[in-house]
Structure 1
Amino acid sequence: MSQENAQKTPPPFERVGPQEFGYNVKQVEHFLARARATFNGTDDDSTVVTSHLVRRTAFEPQKGGYNAREVDSALDRLEDVFAQRERDALIQTEGEEAWLQQVGRLSSILRGRLHREPGERFRRPSRRGVPSYNVEDVDDLCEQLIGYFEEDMPMSVDAIRRVTFREAKGQDGYEESQVDAFLDRVVELMASID
């Protein structure tokens, strides 16, 4: 075996077959390098990775790319690590009371929406026929979240990250972008307190 082959590092993720679509390899590796630099404190201010950025990151499809499920799982773990570091940094610089106030504000905003009447928690799409989320599915999740936030019912942040809703059309459902933005904030809160 040559010295070059012995030193070659294995790829961070399995690749899908040559005719299957996975995540763009260069984009994934570039993002992981940025995240590593932030984690190690060697980044500059223009490339800082935050838990919010990890949650919002998407990669283009590529034939033979990285396995999406593996990358998504790694991003979930990475988001949790960054959320915990952000929480710890806030507590260290401003004190635990500042963190508790931040959690309280976000929790209050989320609970305000959760306590709206079923069927009225989110706006309906303004255009007819566009895809939207099934109202009953979203409202069921909202009831589960009330149980989590107010009655200590167990719920995993990964359950929110992976939730899917049946499709509705236009006014028959909730506007997808508003529900997605709300769920992003739920994940942000859950990741910072778990």
Structure 2
Amino acid sequence: MELVNRRGGRGTVAHTDDSAAAGFDRVGRGDLGYSPKQVEKFMAAARAYLEDSSAPAVTSHQVRMVSFDAVRGGFDASEVDAALDRLEDAFARREREELIERSGEEAWLREIGQLAGVLRGRLARHDGERFRRPSSQKAPSYQVQDVDALCVRLLDYLENGSPMSADEVRTAVFRTVTGQEGYEETQVDAFLDRVVELMAAID
């Protein structure tokens, strides 16, 4: 069965009056959507932890990396992804508040500074040199110019505070090329996940 992965991941969910609580629209019977059973199970666990910190923990990283099987007539992926984005932001804020309460604001700033430094190091590389190229000549890859353009904006965000949101990174779309014409998709996606992690923690 095809596995549908969300990049990104990718608002607020301090309350639970959105589609995560009420259910999601389904796609047509012949179309692919996210497995309702898997989505409902994950959302229930996330809501439980939001409402009661003694419940089994769910982290912003788990929300960002969760994936669901694709099934006929499943939940609309765009609706589920939007709810997951809001959940991720809510958990990131909660984790920031808990870290500050537990260890002080300096500890949070130190953690954010370390992550920002790691990300900045790659963003500051020259165009065409920020990520590796696929080893397979037939593998799909992201067009270098598209990825580099986003990286330039991200560097401006980190160094100069230029306006940019985590959602812009979550929803970034790159043209696809083949093999070493582009950057390896998995490395770019993993890096952008860390960028979203940082932005969600700061905003």
Using the size of structure 2 for normalisation, the TM-score is 0.86
Deviation, 1:67, is 1.1
The amino acid across from 2:176 in the alignment is E
- Give secondary structure in 2 for the equivalent of 1:168: strand
Counterparts of residues 32-111 of structure 1 (less than 5 Å): 32-39=43-50, 40-44=52-56, 48-111=57-120
Q: Which residue of 2 aligns with 1:20?
A: 31
The amino acid across from 1:19 in the alignment is G
Matched, 1:139 2:151: no
How many positions carry a matched residue from both structures? 182
Q: Which runs of 5+ in 2 are unaligned?
A: 1-20
Aligned mates of 1:55, 1:136 — CA distance in 2: 26
- Give secondary structure in 2 for the equivalent of 1:59: strand
Higher relative contact order (CA 8 A, sep 6+): 2
Counterparts of residues 111-126 of structure 1 (less than 5 Å): 111-126=120-135
Deviation, 1:173, is 0.7
Q: Which residue of 2 aligns with 1:184?
A: 193
Per-residue Cα deviation, 1:6-33 (whole angstroms, up to 9, x for no partner): xxxx841111222222110000000011
Per-residue Cα deviation, 1:101-152 (whole angstroms, up to 9, x for no partner): 0000000000000111110011111122111110000000001111111122
Aligned mates of 2:140, 2:68 — CA distance in 1: 22
Deviation, 1:183, is 0.1
Aligned mates of 2:155, 2:133 — CA distance in 1: 22
Q: Which residue of 2 aligns with 1:7?
A: none
Aligned mates of 1:158, 1:94 — CA distance in 2: 29
Aligned mates of 1:126, 1:65 — CA distance in 2: 35
Aligned mates of 2:43, 2:176 — CA distance in 1: 33
Aligned mates of 2:22, 2:160 — CA distance in 1: 43
List structure 1 runs of 4+ shifted beyond 2 angstroms.
41-44
Greater helix fraction, Structure 1 or Structure 2: 1
Aligned mates of 2:75, 2:22 — CA distance in 1: 9
Using the size of structure 1 for normalisation, the TM-score is 0.90
Deviation, 1:170, is 1.0
Q: Which runs of 5+ in 1 are unaligned?
A: 1-9
Per-residue Cα deviation, 1:137-191 (whole angstroms, up to 9, x for no partner): 0000001111111122111111100111111111111111111111000000000
**RMSD of Structure 2 on Structure 1 (CA):** 1.2
Largest Rg, 1 or 2:
1
Identical counterparts, % of pairs: 58
